[in-house]
Structure 1
Amino acid sequence: MVMRWEAFLEQVQERGEYASPEEAERASRVVLALLGAHVVGSERTELAARLPEACALVLLNPLPAAEPLTPERFVRAAAAWIEGATEQTARWDVSAVLSVVADAADEDLMRRVLLQLPPEYDQLFGRPQAV
């Protein structure tokens, strides 16, 4: 069953300790747009199918990434787009959103998504991989 938008935002708001659903929504839209620019093909489509429609639309319609971003550059990019964010708060924002995304996906899908991303994204998703 696909998660409702309100439930998605509630989880992001709780994990990100945001004061309002609007803050959670702002962070979610930025992070999902960045993620959508880096995950392609059937993995992006499958991930979108497990998320609320509003999330799926953002994930499926990104501007393509010019190059893969390291996790650090992904966080910096999020900081640039989230009003008032610093790199430290953006890391928190990214992890709050991506951990909810990871919970919506199963282990196989997350493994395939992580294979498309540079090393160490597993940390941002809250899914550190055993070495």
Structure 2
Amino acid sequence: MVAIRSEEFLERIRERGEYDTRQEAERAARVVLALLGAHVVGQERSALAARLPETFAMILLNPLPAAEPLAPERFVRATAAWIEGATEETAKWDVGAVLSVVAEAAGEDLTRRLLLQLPVGYDLLFGRPSSA
């Protein structure tokens, strides 16, 4: 599978998140991928990085270390804390927009393998409520 181009990746996130600008989509993508990178490891993280644009692959591969896996609700709260002016509701929207596009780039098999590494409930954030 070939990595998605940066412009296409951000445009999909912009459309999915109904953002006014590409910069808003990029801000959401950077925060969500930095947090996600701290929670997925090994071959799955490398495989996902290979399917993302290089800039975003590097964010995924060089995350801040997580002290513990975050439950989906805490992942959303952490996202809100990193995005200036965000609330939990807007952060949930941001996470869903980014992770649903990430799931499309990853494909079904890799998305399933990623979800196995994450606490229960992330399937909803990835837009995959039936994959658990």
- TM-score when normalising by structure 1: 0.97
Q: Distance in 2 between matches of 1:79 and 1:113?
A: 22
Q: Which residue does 1:53 correspond to in 2?
A: 54
Q: Distance in 2 between matches of 1:12 and 1:75?
A: 17
Per-residue deviation at 1:129? 2.1
- TM-score when normalising by structure 2: 0.97
Aligned-residue RMSD, C-alpha: 0.9
The equivalences for 1:112-127 within 5 A come to 112-127=113-128
Unaligned stretches of 5+ residues in structure 2: none
Q: Is the 8 A contact 2:48 2:106 kept in 1?
A: yes
Which letter does structure 2 place at the counterpart of 1:16?
A: G
Q: Is the 8 A contact 2:17 2:94 kept in 1?
A: yes
Q: Distance in 2 between matches of 1:31 and 1:48?
A: 14
Q: Deviations over 1:78-123 (max 9, x none)?
A: 0000111000000000000000000001211111100000001000
Q: Distance in 2 between matches of 1:69 and 1:6?
A: 30
Q: Deviations over 1:7-65 (max 9, x none)?
A: 10000000001010000000000000000000000000000000110110000000111
Q: Distance in 1 between matches of 2:31 and 2:131?
A: 29
Number of residue pairs matched by the alignment: 131
Which letter does structure 2 place at the counterpart of 1:112?
A: R
Q: Distance in 1 between matches of 2:78 and 2:23?
A: 20
Q: Which runs of 4+ in 1 moved over 6 A?
A: none
Unaligned stretches of 5+ residues in structure 1: none
Cα 1:84–1:42 shift into 2, 3 Å: same
Q: Which residue does 2:27 correspond to in 1?
A: 26
Amino-acid identity (%): 73
